[in-house]
């Protein structure tokens, strides 16, 4: 699937979210949030460079980071999405997200990720699974730092810096609250939101009465569409219709009267 063209205002909002939102991993080897001067972005150039937007959130996020590195930070990009394979068997071993020389002349290897996890202390194993329960924060972070960032490629030589650029959100259930203890490397200032099962929509309609909700369709799970939103009652009805035929997770942003996001909301199927 090649995806579809992106709206200019949505592309800019997503770019700012990707770069400026809080880091979702901290400690040695991580890269913190940076800044985007939105007024200096040529929207036509941004849309043309992004091209057909891929359907997967992670792939879209990588394109946004690439745009920022090359066209905002001015790095000399050597490789992006470089596939690695076993020279004897041809088996794919993985890939390097970005190899570049920064403006200070340092040769860098970056791995990027955007992930969403739900705090559920009643779940066996990790208490921080993803909407896809086969995924969890601890496993993702272990793979990122112990495998992806340690790969050696003799033909590429050495790197001066290896960094993880990780963004995302940890969702808390309104009847459970926030965790007392976070997984290793999850920042206490990470972006947080609210998650519910489909049948629990009344929990949010009562909490945010009078607000609007913008549904975020993949791959635009990053920033809400500027100015978009429907009344909460309409959103609740749309959820009932959606989960009547689908188990796909719904991501949404609760908006105030000015259209600004006040809460990120993740709704999963009742059987999650």
pLDDT classification of 193: cutoffs 50, 70, 90: very high
Which tens digits make up the pLDDT trace of 121-138?
999 999 999 999 999 999
- φ/ψ (deg, to 5) at 136: -155, 160
Share of the chain above pLDDT 70, in %: 96
Given a cut of 80, is residue 168 above it in pLDDT? yes
On average, the pLDDT of the chain sits at: 93
Peptide bond into 219 cis (omega under 30): yes
pLDDT of 87: 66
Given a cut of 50, is residue 2 above it in pLDDT? no
Q: What is the DSSP string of 107-170?
A: EEEEEEEEEEEE--TTSSS-S-B-SSTT-BHHHHHHHHHHTGGG---GGG---SEEEEEEEEEE
For the chain, strand residue ranges (E) read 76-85, 92-101, 107-118, 161-172, 192-197, 212-216, 230-231, 250-255, 261-268
pLDDT of 91: 74
pLDDT of 107: 97
In this structure, the strands spanning 212-216 and 76-85 are unpaired
- How distant, in Å, are the alpha carbons of 83, 148, 151, 223, 230 from that of 93? 8, 10, 10, 32, 45
What DSSP state is assigned to residue 245? T
- How distant, in Å, are the alpha carbons of 140, 217, 242 from that of 249? 19, 10, 10
Burial of 213 (0-12, 13-18, 19+ CB in 10 A): buried
Which tens digits make up the pLDDT trace of 35-63?
999 999 999 999 999 999 899 999 999 99
């Amino acid at each position: 699937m090649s995806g579809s063209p992106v709206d200019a205002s949505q592309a800019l909002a997503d770019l700012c979210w990707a770069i400026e939102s809080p880091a979702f991993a901290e400690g040695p080897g991580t890269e913190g949030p940076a800044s985007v001067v939105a007024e200096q972005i040529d929207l036509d150039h941004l849309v043309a460079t992004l091209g057909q937007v891929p359907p997967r959130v992670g792939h879209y996020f990588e394109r946004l980071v690439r745009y920022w590195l090359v066209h905002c930070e001015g790095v000399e990009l050597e490789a992006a999405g470089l596939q690695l394979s076993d020279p004897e068997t041809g088996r794919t071993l993985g890939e390097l997200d970005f190899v570049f020389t920064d403006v200070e002349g340092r040769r860098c290897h970056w791995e990027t990720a955007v992930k969403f996890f739900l705090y559920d202390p009643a779940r066996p194993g990790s208490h921080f699974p993803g909407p896809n329960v086969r995924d969890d924060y601890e496993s993702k972070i272990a793979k990122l730092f112990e495998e992806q960032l340690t790969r050696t490629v003799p033909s590429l030589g050495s790197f001066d810096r290896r960094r993880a650029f990780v963004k995302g959100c940890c969702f808390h259930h309104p009847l459970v609250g926030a965790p007392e203890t976070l997984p290793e490397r999850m920042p206490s200032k990470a972006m947080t939101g609210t998650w519910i099962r489909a049948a629990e929509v009344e929990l949010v309609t009562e909490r945010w009465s009078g607000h609007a909700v913008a549904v975020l369709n993949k791959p635009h799970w990053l920033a809400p569409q500027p100015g978009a939103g429907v009344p909460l009652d309409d959103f609740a009805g749309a959820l009932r219709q959606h989960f009547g035929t689908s188990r796909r997770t719904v991501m949404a942003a609760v908006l105030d009267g000015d259209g600004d996001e006040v809460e990120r909301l993740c709704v999963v199927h009742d059987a999650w």
